[in-house]
Amino acid sequence: MQHGQIVLVDTNIIIEAVRTCCWNAVSSHFTIETVEKCMEEARTGDPMRRQYVPVTAEDLGRIGGVHDVDRGEQVRLAATLPMADELDAGERHLFAHALGRSDAWIASCADRAALRAAFALGWKDRMVSLASLAHAAGSKPDLKEHFCERWLSDLRTAFVLEEGLR
């Protein structure tokens, strides 16, 4: 992972990075990009919920690129990935956008279904943990387990083993 590299992130990565105070480091070190649906999700939520994390306009302003996803991109994803409807809306839009890219992006998400979908799309080596991004940016946040490299590595292994059994 190089300084300035494009990293596509979903809503959960934004929220966890803000919660653990590594967002500024990560968004300064990498070129963070996302889709409008993830921005919308990050701006909403129930502030009365016990673990609600407020994401400010300033936080979202650190994102280097926000992409609209049109119906054609969504249809292309659905045709390419039969399990697309299992993804959350933000992840579905993010993957629909990523499917049309030809540059050297990497992505971070911490959802089992999203990672299964990414692997099915052949993106196993493009997926990175928030912990890896934070460490590369010089931050060592106290992240929830599913944002850590060990969780992602264990999931990779499980998916590879499952594929081998088919």
Could you give the number of structural domains in the chain?
A: 1
1 lies in a domain? no
Q: What is the pTM of this model?
A: 0.93
Retrieve residue 162's tokens.
């499952």
Cβ distance 104 to 6 under 8 Å?
yes
Beta strands in 3-146 (DSSP E): 6-9, 31-35, 65-67, 106-108
pLDDT tens-digit profile, the chain (166 residues): 899 999 999 999 999 999 999 999 999 999 999 999 999 999 987 778 888 899 999 999 999 999 999 999 999 999 999 999 999 999 999 999 999 999 999 999 999 999 999 999 999 999 999 999 999 999 999 999 999 999 999 998 988 887 766 5
31: domain CATH number? 3.40.50.1010
95 lies in a domain? yes
